[in-house]
Amino acid sequence: MTDRLYLMPIGPAASPQSEEGDSVRLAGGLVYAHRFAAIVRREGRVIERHRFTPETASDTFARLPEALASEAETQWFALRTAHPPFQLGGRTIRLDQPQVAGILNVTPDSMSDGGKFLDRPEDGAAHAGAMVEAGAALIDIGGESTRPGASAVWEGDEIERVVPATRYCAQMGAAISIDTRRAAVMEAALDAGAHMVNDVSALRHDPRGAEIVAAFGCPVVLMHAPGSGEDLHADGYYDSVVFDVFDWLAERRDAAIAAGVARERIVLDPGIGFGKTLSDNLALLNALPLFHSLGQPLMVGASRKRMIGALSNEAAAHQRLGGSLALAVGAMDAGVQLLRVHDVAETVQARNVWRGLRDAALTDFFALPD
């Protein structure tokens, strides 16, 4: 049997000085943590849990078996790794603070826009421009609905949807990610001016996907989804959803690197809402700090998801702004770097206020008088 180890931040700190320096900066961002847990799992069950602080980390790791101690050191380094910015065309996307990715769906059956951006490209361009003006760091263009029960799309149709949107976004100087799981669509969009790939299948759906990403040298988002075929929501069964998703993302990260994708270009996404129950989604959102132990920037897309309706009297998608903002702020508190959202202006405003609070927390009002 093989034991697995997970390093989980469990105690946030307002600032380093609030803990007299005994804290770490998660992923080089604006969130600090003071208390951590080293969790050991065997055959799907947690068998040990060791709490520690940065000052006691070395002693805690020394008490672990050699293989786990080595893994603990690896994850401890990953937790504190500051990620370099992405250069997406003429735009620099810093990863030392939360950034907002605005969603542009060019599908006939989008839950949020009813297909109007597909039928009226002038409206799509205006919407993309408004999101950039409101502070979106990048525009995420999708030509296939991935909601439960949605029909698969032929790649030719998907290309016809996303390439015009990519071109008008490129003309306005936007940073662009292409939300697709098909290599031909990735290639067409990247040729048309996209800068990044967001693959909800984590490069599993199309064998050429990793080859395309590696050849273009572009950043890629690897998202967790349990389904291995057309239905990404299938087979959502977990021993422990948090640890299972963590292990799965680690495997997909390593597979992408083995296929030639540069590690510093990989972003990971736990896949909120994909093959997961309400309790699964809540568990993942509460455990987001754990995923920094994988050593990659994180993206979270929880905007207008069904879980918000489930927690608010089945509110319709267009009535989920409050819940979307609550989840976005929760992700920021966890140190997540990229927030994929529908409501850009409101999320950017929430991010700016959050940033002000984080900056103010660094004021040394904890200091003792001289």
Has 340 been annotated as catalytic?
yes
Compute the distance between CA of residue 210 and CA of residue 203 in angstroms, rounded to an integer. Answer: 6
The arithmetic mean of pLDDT across residues 55-72, rounded, is: 96
The arithmetic mean of pLDDT across residues 196-216, rounded, is: 97
Q: Is residue 106 within a helix (H) or strand (E), and if so which, with residue range?
A: none
Q: Where in the chain is the domain with CATH 3.20.20.20?
A: 86-358
Q: Which tens digits make up the pLDDT trace of 130-176?
A: 999 999 999 999 999 887 767 778 899 999 999 999 999 999 999 99
Overall size of the chain counted in residues: 370
Is residue 368 predicted with pLDDT exceeding 80? no
Would you state the pLDDT for residue 115?
66
SS3 76: helix
Query: Which of 35, 34, 48 shows the shortest CA–CA distance to 6?
Result: 48
The arithmetic mean of pLDDT across residues 257-271, rounded, is: 98
Contacts of 2 (CB under 8 A, 6+ apart): 42
Is residue 77 predicted with pLDDT exceeding 80? yes
Catalytic residue among 181, 305, 351, 358: 305
Would you state the pLDDT for residue 112?
60
Would you state the pLDDT for residue 117?
80
Compute the distance between CA of residue 246 and CA of residue 235 in angstroms, rounded to an integer. Answer: 17
Would you state the pLDDT for residue 369?
66
What is the bridge-based pairing of β-strands 299-300 and 338-341?
Answer: parallel
Give DSSP secondary structure letters for 271-335. -TTSS--HHHHHHHHHTGGGGGGG-S-BEE--TT-HHHHHTTTT--GGG-HHHHHHHHHHHHHTT
Query: Which of 70, 77, 2 shows the shortest CA–CA distance to 41?
Result: 2
Would you state the pLDDT for residue 49?
97
User: Looking at residue 152, what DSSP letter applies?
Assistant: P
Give DSSP secondary structure letters for 236-283. ---SSHHHHHHHHHHHHHHHHHHTT--GGGEEEE--TTSS--HHHHHH
Confidence band of 108 (pLDDT split at 50, 70, 90): confident
Has 91 been annotated as catalytic?
no
Would you state the pLDDT for residue 152?
78
Sign of CA dihedral 133, 103, 261, 224: positive
Q: Which tens digits make up the pLDDT trace of 312-339?
A: 999 999 999 999 999 999 999 999 999 9
Would you state the pLDDT for residue 352?
98
Would you state the pLDDT for residue 54?
98
Compute the distance between CA of residue 202 and CA of residue 216 in angstroms, rounded to an integer. Answer: 17
Is residue 114 predicted with pLDDT exceeding 90? no
Is residue 365 predicted with pLDDT exceeding 90? no
67 burial type by CB count under 10 A (0-12 exposed, 13-18 middle, 19+ buried): exposed
Tell me the chain's radius of gyration from C-alpha atoms.
20
Would you state the pLDDT for residue 367?
62
Is residue 89 predicted with pLDDT exceeding 90? yes
* Third-level CATH fold of 86-358: TIM Barrel (3.20.20)
Catalytic residue among 252, 265, 320, 340: 340
> How many CA atoms within 13 Å lie on the side-chain side of 267?
28
The arithmetic mean of pLDDT across residues 25-45, rounded, is: 97
The arithmetic mean of pLDDT across residues 227-244, rounded, is: 91
Q: Within a 10 A sphere around the Cβ of 188, how many other Cβ atoms?
A: 21
Sign of CA dihedral 62, 293, 28, 322: negative
Report percent pLDDT > 90 for the chain: 87
